[in-house]
Chains A and B, each alone.
Chain A
Amino acid sequence: MKPAYFLTHLKKDLQLEWRSKDAINSMLFFALLVVVLFSLAFDPTRAVSRQIAGGILCVATMFAAVSALNQAWARELRNQVLDALRMTPAPGASLFLGKTLANFLFVTVVELVLAPVFVMFYNLHALGNAWLLLLVLPLGTWALMVNGVFFAALSIRTRNRELLLPLILFPIFIPALLGMVMSATAILTGEGDAVMWIKLLGAYDVIFTTVCLMLFEVILHAE
C-alpha cells in the first residue's frame, strides 16, 4: 500500500470535516452531556470518582463515537461516490486507513476537550502514573475506530445500519473496553497493574488493525 493514497484519503476526510464539523460537534455535545449528567446524578466523592471515572469516560467516548461512526461512510454513499472510489486503482486498505485515522483524530479532539471538563466535574487527581493515560486513551480510541469504521463499512448496505453497528461493534470492542477501563482505573486509584492492561490494548490494536486491513478489500467490493 502506497502511503500517498492513504494521505490523499486522510486529507479529503479532514477537509470535509473541517467544512461541516458534523462529526466533532455531534460527538462533543453527546459526550459532554453524558459526563455532566453522570456527575449530577451520582454526585461522587473524590474516592468514588477515581473508581468510576475511567468507566464513565470510556463509555461516554464510545457512545459519542458511534454517532460519528454511523455517518462515517455517509458521504461516500451519497451520490454513489463509493462506486467511483471502487473503480480507481487506489487500494481499498488506504481508503480504510485514511478514514480510520481521520475518525481517530476527530475523537481525539473530543477527548482533549472532554478531559479538563472531566477533571473539573469529578474532582479528579490521579494517584498512579497519570502520563500513562496518554497511552491508554489513544490505544483505546484506535481500537474503537478501527473496528467502528470496518463494521460501519460492513453495514452500509443494510437497511437498519444505525442499529446494526452498535450491535456488532460493542461485543467485539469489549476486550478493549475492559483494557481501557481497568488501566484508567488503575492509574487513577494507584492500585492494580495498569501496564498489563495497556499491553493488552496494544495487542488488541495490532490484531484488529491487521485483520481489518486484510478484509477491507472484500468488504469494499461486496455487492
Chain B
Amino acid sequence: MTSIIAEFDEVSKLYGTFAALRKVSVQFERGRCYLVLGPNGAGKSTLLRTLAGLLKPSYGKVRVFGDGGEAEEPMEARERIGYMSHATMLYDEFSGVENLRYFASLYRGRDCVAPEEALRRVGLDPALERPVGQYSQGMKQRASLARVLISRPELLLLDEPFSNMDIASAHQMLRLLETFRSEQRTILLTTHQRELAEPLADYVLTLDAGAVASLEEGPYAKRGGLGLAAATAGAAR
C-alpha cells in the first residue's frame, strides 16, 4: 500500500491580489520522485516553499508525514524537510565545509551526515578552503545540495537544482537523487530542463497559472522502477 507523505487540500496562496496557487489539491507518495513543471510564474517555487513551511497558505491545508501517525503542518516538521532554493542558502564568506559544519551544529542531537561526507557525496572536495562566494555556479549548487543532505531529510524539495550546471554535473546529481529515492525519500524537483530530469520521475506534475494542469505517471514508473542506467541503455538502443 502506498503511503502519503504530503498532501495539499484546496490550497491557495495569494500575494496581495495575485494568486500564486489556486485551489491546489494533490497528494505525494512516500519514496517517489515528482517532477514539477510549468512556465515561469506557474507557482512551482510557491508550491515548494509552502511545502517547506516557509510560506503559509492563504486558504486550504498542507499536511505532511501523516503516514507515520498524526499529520503535521510543514512548519512543525521542517527539520524533516530539506529545501534547496535557486539561491545557495550558504554564507559566501565561509568555505563549503565551514558552512556545513555550522548548519550541522544547528541539528544538534540528530543523526546527521558528516559535513565532509556530504560534500564528498555531491562531488566536492571538503579540503577546499575557497569561500563559497568564489565557487562556480555549478559548485555552489552542489554545496547547496550538500547542505540539504546533512540533516537526512525524508522529503527533499529541490527548486531548479540543475540550473547553471554542466551536463556531467547534472547527471551526477541525478544519480545521487536516485540513491535518495532508493532510500525511500520523497523528492519534488522543479526544472525547466524536462528532458534531463524526466527519466528519474515517477510522476510529472504540471502547474499552469497556479493551478494543477495535470498529474501524469512519469517515465521511471512506466519503466517499472528501473533506474537511470536502464533509461540510458534504452535510449542508446
Interface set of A (CB-CB < 8 Å, partner B): 2, 4-5, 8, 12, 15-16, 19-20, 75, 78-81, 83-90, 221, 223
A88 to chain B, nearest CB (A): 4
Contacts of B106 in A (CB 8 A): 5, 8, 85, 88-90
In whole angstroms, what is the CA distance A90 to B75 when docked? 13
Query: When the two chains form their complex, are residues A79 and B89 in contact, meaning their CB atoms are under 8 A apart?
Result: yes
Query: When the two chains form their complex, are residues B79 and A88 in contact, meaning their CB atoms are under 8 A apart?
Result: yes
Any chain A CB within 8 A of the CB of B237? no
A-B contact pairs, 9 of them (CB 8 A): A8-B102, A15-B94, A16-B94, A75-B92, A81-B89, A83-B85, A84-B83, A87-B54, A223-B55
A26 to chain B, nearest CB (A): 16
Contacts of B88 in A (CB 8 A): 79-80
Query: When the two chains form their complex, are residues B54 and A75 in contact, meaning their CB atoms are under 8 A apart?
Result: no
In the complex formed, the residue of B with least CB distance to A2 is B108
Contacts of A85 in B (CB 8 A): 106
Any chain A CB within 8 A of the CB of B147? yes
Contacts A2-B108, A19-B93, A221-B75 given; indicate if A12 touches B87 (C-beta within 8 A): no
Partner of A80, one of B56, B89, B98, B107: B89
Query: When the two chains form their complex, are residues B147 and A84 in contact, meaning their CB atoms are under 8 A apart?
Result: yes
Any chain A CB within 8 A of the CB of B81? yes
Contacts A75-B93, A79-B92 given; indicate if A87 touches B87 (C-beta within 8 A): no
Chain A interface helix/strand/loop/mixed = helix
Query: When the two chains form their complex, are residues A223 and B108 in contact, meaning their CB atoms are under 8 A apart?
Result: no
In whole angstroms, what is the CA distance A60 to B106 when docked? 36
Size of interface on B: residues with Cβ below 8 Å to A? 30
Query: When the two chains form their complex, are residues B108 and A16 in contact, meaning their CB atoms are under 8 A apart?
Result: no
In whole angstroms, what is the CA distance A2 to B82 when docked? 23
Contacts of A79 in B (CB 8 A): 87-92
Contacts of B151 in A (CB 8 A): 88
B138 to chain A, nearest CB (A): 16
Hey, what's the 0/1 contact readout for B37-78 against A, CB within 8 Å counting as 1?
000000000000000111110000000000000000001001
In the complex formed, the residue of B with least CB distance to A78 is B92
Chain B interface helix/strand/loop/mixed = loop
Query: When the two chains form their complex, are residues A80 and B79 in contact, meaning their CB atoms are under 8 A apart?
Result: no
Query: When the two chains form their complex, are residues A83 and B93 in contact, meaning their CB atoms are under 8 A apart?
Result: no
Interface set of B (CB-CB < 8 Å, partner A): 52-56, 75, 78-79, 81-83, 85, 87-94, 98, 102-103, 105-108, 110, 147, 151
In the complex formed, the residue of B with least CB distance to A20 is B93
Q: Could you say which of B102, B106, B108 has the most chain A C-beta atoms within 10 Å of its C-beta?
A: B106
In whole angstroms, what is the CA distance A221 to B55 when docked? 9
Question: Closest 5 interchain pairs by CB?
Answer: A84-B89, A88-B106, A90-B106, A80-B87, A89-B79
Query: When the two chains form their complex, are residues A86 and B108 in contact, meaning their CB atoms are under 8 A apart?
Result: no
- Known interface pairs A8-B105, A80-B89; 17 further A-B residue pairs with C-beta atoms within 8 A, sorted by A's residue number: A2-B108, A4-B108, A5-B108, A8-B106, A75-B91, A75-B93, A79-B89, A79-B91, A79-B92, A83-B83, A84-B83, A86-B54, A86-B78, A87-B53, A87-B83, A88-B151, A89-B107
In whole angstroms, what is the CA distance A81 to B82 when docked? 14
Query: When the two chains form their complex, are residues A83 and B54 in contact, meaning their CB atoms are under 8 A apart?
Result: yes
Contacts A80-B85, A223-B56 given; indicate if A87 touches B78 (C-beta within 8 A): yes
In the complex formed, the residue of A with least CB distance to B140 is A79
A145 to chain B, nearest CB (A): 21
Contacts of B102 in A (CB 8 A): 8, 12
A53 to chain B, nearest CB (A): 37
B59 to chain A, nearest CB (A): 15
Query: When the two chains form their complex, are residues A88 and B91 in contact, meaning their CB atoms are under 8 A apart?
Result: no
Contacts of A84 in B (CB 8 A): 83, 89-90, 103, 147
Query: When the two chains form their complex, are residues B110 and A89 in contact, meaning their CB atoms are under 8 A apart?
Result: yes
Contacts of B53 in A (CB 8 A): 87
In whole angstroms, what is the CA distance A101 to B169 when docked? 41
